[in-house]
Chains A and B, each alone.
Chain A
Amino acid sequence: MSLATYRFEVPGDDFTRAGEASGSLKRSLKKIGFDPDIIRRVSIAMYEAEINMVIHANGGVIDVEVSPQKIDIWFRDKGPGIPDIDLAMQEGYSTAPDNVRSLGFGAGMGLPNIKKYTDEMKIDTEIGVGTTVYISVYAK
């Protein structure tokens, strides 16, 4: 049974609005009454994925499905795709451009953080077509 579903449109290359979707979901999960640790894990993973869409894929769409058992999130973009997922998953590996690094991004911790704070993570990517990242956080 689904408690709620949400859809967020993430604009590309707009760092002033990056994090708005994560902030919005965080507030919604608080209202529903999830455990703070669950909310924190969802917020971290979602922020990282949202930022990835802004930096690498010119934005995209986020779909969230909240049930009492888990929070499922799909991040869909039409970006360039990820050539080597194993490399992208390595801590410290980043392809973020210099102008983004000066804002505090580009640590190469985005995908590792998503993996670390979620119970399930799956990446479907095709070069030149786009990437879908699916994550799930169990609500214990």
Chain B
Amino acid sequence: MTVSQLCESIGGKIIAAADASDNLIKGGYTCDFLSFVIGKAKSEDAWITVIGNVNTIAVASLADVGCIILAEDSPLDEDAKDKAEMVGIPVISSSKNSFELSVELGKLLGM
């Protein structure tokens, strides 16, 4: 599944790095602590979080995740948006909460 397919399925909106929306998503990880994510998220995961700052993008890039999903309409800082564009990490915005998004992602991935 690509990021754009995922975005459409969950009714979200790509708010940064749409150019990289053909990134593949093969799994998911849900957490707001950056050290958990960098240590445990896998490449090509969709990372679900409510924290949309520049450090979120740095961690996503270092961990090679496929995209970030910002739950509950959490804001993406302006410098974070610029960095996401620079490193090519797509960011999806959704009004759903982290649990709802995790369940939906799991269903889409056949888990």
Contact = CB atoms under 8 A, between A and B. Distances in A.
Q: Is the interface of A mostly helix, strand, loop or mixed?
A: helix
Given A44-B63, A47-B58, A103-B53, A16 B35 contact: no
A109 B36 contact: yes
A107 B34 contact: yes
Interface in B74-95: 79, 87
Interface residues of A, number: 26
B35 A48 contact: yes
A112 B44 CA distance: 24
Given A16-B79, A48-B35, A105-B34, A23 B62 contact: yes
B39 interface: yes
A109 B33 contact: yes
Contact of B39 (A23, A51, A104, A116): A116
Interface in A14-38: 15-16, 18-20, 22-23, 26, 36
B54 A47 contact: no
A40 interface: yes
Interface string A39-75: 0100110011001000000000000000000000000
